[in-house]
Amino acid sequence: MAVFPGQRAFAAAISRALADALPGSRVPLIGSLGVGTDDEYSDVDLAWVVPDGAVPNAADRLGAVLGAVAEVASVRSAPEFQRSALHRLVFVRFRGVPLFWRLDLQIWAASHAFDTDVPRASGIDWSLPESAAMNAIGEPDPADGWASRIAALVDAAAAREPRLHELASDVHVLLRRHGKDFQSQTG
């Protein structure tokens, strides 16, 4: 696997892989990287605009396509659009890159790209423990002891879903290495 000097290089590699995987698609950079407000803890936000009718197939192939960029640890699709033919919201966690570089990918049918009124088409495949663990990192806590609260949360998530032990371990490493950095950013 390649080594990436930063989130932008990682995002560019993902963008190329997605665009190459589906002719006629485009992959704009969105979120903090797209508007230039990113920092070292920013995730990677992309939109994959695909030809009409291609959203389900694009979502199904996502793990294999992204595996050519970096080893995929987890692919989660937001439940409210899991069965949509027009829009999917997918969260991808990778091995071998910083944990913060989670990919938040919006897959859009070209005729409905960035349409906030796309009807929901819900599914039920969602890991609440993994979602809680990933979203706890770097969150501000007005009280002392926030790092131990995050550690307890990821440990609880891993106890509930054993496949999350590696994620819990990665979070513990981050807390040991960067806990003071998070503390200064959150207050």
81 vs 128: CA distance, rounded Å: 16
Question: Collapsing DSSP states into helix, strand and coil, what is residue 11?
Answer: helix
Contact 154, 168 (CB under 8 A): yes
Tokens representing 12?
């560019």
Angle at 50 between CA 100 and CA 93, to 5 degrees: 20
Question: What is the reported pTM?
Answer: 0.72
**pLDDT truncated to tens, each residue of the chain (187 aa)?**
578 988 999 999 999 999 999 999 999 999 999 999 998 888 999 999 999 999 999 999 999 999 999 999 999 888 888 889 999 999 999 999 998 899 999 999 999 999 888 877 766 555 656 666 666 555 455 455 677 777 777 787 788 788 888 888 888 888 888 766 555 544 4
Residues with Cβ within 8 Å of residue 117, at least 6 apart in sequence: none
Question: Which domains, ranges and CATH numbers included, belong to the chain?
Answer: 7-112 (3.30.460.10), 128-186 (no CATH)
